[in-house]
A and B are shown apart, each in its own frame.
Chain A
């Protein structure tokens, strides 16, 4: 690793090339195999989960006989059939059960697994079970949990300055409350694992997972075996978005249990409804805040509580709260403050990772504060936004002690405004609103600073395994998983760059715990940062050995050996990359290497809630214009203009896809995607017919994007690129702000469905 800027790209297809996703053509022809498309081994059985029909209650030991009586059923497995531990906790800090025992804590909680010759028989078996549950009153809202003090973990509090005194002394004092909803991942491919038993206790799990290592650990825990008996493999997922982080692990563990119990391959594929009932979602949040500012709208003090609905168990809520409180100020500076993050316990499915991981929720806070301040001071929101950006005349240090780059915040914001022709369009919108009897236009902006690294320091590590074969072809494996985000092609580009060969020479292979062990999940936007460096290390180690052989053969110094254009050269000497590989083999030099990377310069004190938890920040800004029907609350996003900082992009085509897709996914969370539980705690939006993710028409009618130019990462990231998976999801917050502008600034809870927009219009008298 060096701080020097990288050399110009060594090949057409190396770093910075706009290559397509590695399987794009196979996707389009139907040839790409997802887990459910793998040929089923002879004798494969199928499994189905039995789920709790009650949100909260005392569960009598389940009578498994009715399911066993269903024709085709081979085995029925409940807590008593678990040979290891009935515990799927990803953190290991709480007992979280695979199958409920004694108590059910949410509607849709797994009770048992039915294994049968066919999937329909398994489903019929699961439906035949009649759990006896004595209902208890469920806690179904954040408010109810707060009233009873039902928390999953102690509060996480970040404090700075004398916030209480500053609040009391502030010339203007404001307060607010609002809420945002959860979000179903709606990966198009539902959760699935095919478990194939081998000899002597071995088992292979073909799992659709973002975290093969955790699948290995949890399956081993449930089976009561050493990790080395369980091999987890994943070539690709049909979408993940955080939903196949911890949730994939217990589904794979259940399939492993069934394979162990029957001695036969078992496929567990959740139906869409079961998937939506039994797997966690993005955390809904309730926000309550008080703020003080001066007459010009400079914030002086803030006291905010961010209360998340964690669902019934801990899962990954600690990390979600961490990211919410560390992103609660987003790109802004408040000199004195207290931010309190709470993980409330409710009788709903345990909420989990979802792209942004609490960050998107946390970053909503300041938007609400800015709107309230705009009302109180009579100043435009965007003026207040600029006045309170971190850096410049304001403090640049986050309340937990890490510095933001104020000039980048201002740069992305200014570029977005300029590209969007913002001032002219605001005037045009005002003229339109004055003239039209029923429609209103609204404009909204947003600026972002998003910290990159896992909140759990130990997770910031990665491994890779690279082989060079004697024909010069290369096999690449690393701990990252491919869920459509283009990680595999990016890492292949890194390796192509190191060896100076075209990317077609590199074979991308399925993620496997047998090839690269002890990996972190592919999450927190870190996939290319971590695995890119790990692969770079592995490839670099081999290249150094190869350079040594070439140098000796040619009698030149090693550092003069250049790898480019599929050749290796030094002065007048030149040979094909494959020829050198053959020469290395003949000279008995290893052409295989592992690579390892740990993110430098990060630390965190969870007691003081201070440190340097992020390797760097990713910046972005966005502006949206909406058209709202004041009669019905219907709306449409007319235009969005995005500027996103990707550092020096590894692959601009992939990054663009990530940004646009994240934006629309964020817009869905904030607008049309609504999870609706009935009074008994049953989720009633259980499929795409009732849970509405954006369709093509929801895309902004005009959708402009640019990657921030000439902005190599200052941190020593792989080729000075920056992460891109999550940050742009938050840019969609500008759509919320635009809607809020259109409804006259009134409180607008999320998701801002037409229903809530109409209610806000009526409340605001706009």
Chain B
């Protein structure tokens, strides 16, 4: 195909690199970085702590042309996904004369490193944070340190200054790419049409959006898929539109950019806050709404709020064009969806809560940040004259799929906002769900805490003056 790249080109620590044609595109970025040259980059500063995108020891930063810095987990990112990107690792912060970067110096001088194994990843998160800003806890949520207790690290994060360094230029991309080695092909089409054609031709291919879920199968389970269809280079899948009443989000738009969009829709603030607890900045730098929908996990964080909001999922195929499904129709079972073998999730249409509606998102987990929910919920209440006109109560972690709670919704409908009404709805929840016990929580806790969330919803409406969350 004309203009098709067949070798991975990226910028590493400011140096353009075109990788040998026999470089497996489906290997993890981390394995490539740490691998001895010439097959790998020979850079061992970036560490493997868990190979599941949770500890952050492998954090590297993608530098965008506009200067934005996105931390990502090198253990989850596949090398093929890095085509056309500019990357920086901990070694790349050291000046040419060997002088450590101020962030590196600050980590050392503030006693923010003990064993040092997590330190390179934390340095990279800090370096990204020095430009992106925001809450320090949020910036650190994707990095675990087992030694320090975090105080000195938070001290470094609180005093960071942007170094003002311009982004290293990424290699120019022309068209799509196809990287092939014996036993593995990685497609990264640059148009929706090409993506749909490939999807139809190769229904068995891994459909890769951000890769934060599929990447695990490579990183941790050491799978070597024969064919990967990456959607990250399809512009149509990253488009967004903020219209009155409706927010449209491309399925392959990373959460980090979705958050930028949500900042412009104040009524979506609860969803934005909820997304800030989804994974970490590293996960949100790659992960997408389309990916979360595609895996259809009963504990996916985004699904309960989306179900409460009544989103529609737009699917596309070369065969039949577009079709639109309600989220409830799209999810057909435990990790099962209505997506046909030749279809791709194109975008998600999110109705914006009307004025006066009550919208809340909840997540319960053992740890506040970077944890998978035991129970997640999205609540949308339409109130008319102090009475609940309509309640949409959606829960994750309570059944084999994300689901609404019809009996609890019915218990609230037509009721005034009183403690008793919400207590009755909480009671009804016991008839809506019979949750399972697992390592995240027991059935009893799932039910009782979900009931607690409904009671908390009451207090949210009744006492907007009160801080109701322990993290507030």
Residues of A within 8 A of B (CB): 20-21, 23-34, 36-37, 39-40, 120, 123-124, 185-190, 236-241, 271-273, 436-439, 483-486, 627-636, 653-654, 656-657, 660-665, 672, 674, 676, 684-685, 687-690, 692-699, 703, 753-755, 758-759, 762
Contact = CB atoms under 8 A, between A and B. Distances in A.
Given A759-B444, A759-B445, A24 B146 contact: no
A27 B120 contact: yes
B452 interface: yes
B54 A758 contact: no
Contacts of B104: 25, 28-29
A272 B442 CA distance: 25
Interface stretch (B109-117, B309-317, B342-350): B109-117
B286 to A, nearest CB: 16
A21 B438 contact: no
Contacts, number: 274
A695 B449 contact: no
16 contacts: A20-B111, A28-B90, A28-B120, A29-B100, A30-B46, A33-B44, A189-B47, A190-B49, A236-B115, A438-B456, A439-B470, A663-B149, A674-B439, A693-B144, A696-B150, A703-B151
A446 B371 CA distance: 30
Nearest to B93: A29
A318 B255 CA distance: 51
A688 B364 contact: no
Given A31-B45, A661-B147, A699-B154, A21 B453 contact: no
A40 B57 CA distance: 21
B448 interface: yes
Contact of A239 (B90, B117, B222, B440): B117
A28 B220 contact: no
A676 B437 CA distance: 11
A272 B47 contact: no
Give the 9 A-B residue pairs with the shortest CB-CB distance, closest first: A30-B45, A484-B115, A27-B116, A238-B117, A631-B452, A484-B114, A660-B149, A676-B439, A688-B54
A696 B108 contact: no
B contact face: mostly helix, strand, loop, or mixed: loop
A636 B470 contact: yes
Given A21-B113, A24-B116, A695 B369 contact: yes
B372 interface: yes
Among A23, A186, A755, the one with the most B-chain Cβ atoms within 10 Å of its Cβ is: A755
B221 to A, nearest CB: 9
Contacts of A688: 49-50, 52, 54-55, 144
B452 A632 contact: yes
A766 B240 CA distance: 48
B136 interface: yes
B323 interface: no
Interface string B348-375: 0000000000000000111111111010
A692 B371 contact: yes
Nearest to A190: B49
A439 B468 contact: yes
Contacts of A483: 115
B66 interface: no
Contact of B442 (A693, A699, A703, A755): A755
B167 interface: no
B118 interface: yes
Given A27-B117, A754-B366, 9 more contacts: A27-B108, A39-B36, A188-B55, A238-B116, A241-B146, A439-B467, A633-B449, A695-B141, A696-B137
B459 interface: yes
A239 B445 contact: no
B109 A692 contact: no
A26 B104 CA distance: 9
A118 to B, nearest CB: 10
Given A31-B45, A676-B439, A632 B151 contact: no
Contact of A272 (B44, B51, B143): B51
Contacts of B52: 272, 687-689
Contact of B91 (A29, A39, A694): A29
B114 A695 contact: no
B130 interface: no
B463 interface: yes
B150 A699 contact: yes
Nearest to B98: A29
Contacts of B453: 631-632
B94 interface: yes
Contact of A755 (B36, B48, B445): B445
Contacts of B53: 689
Nearest to A757: B445
Given A24-B107, A238-B47, A629-B469, A188 B115 contact: yes
A23 B45 contact: no
A430 to B, nearest CB: 18
Contacts of B152: 657, 660
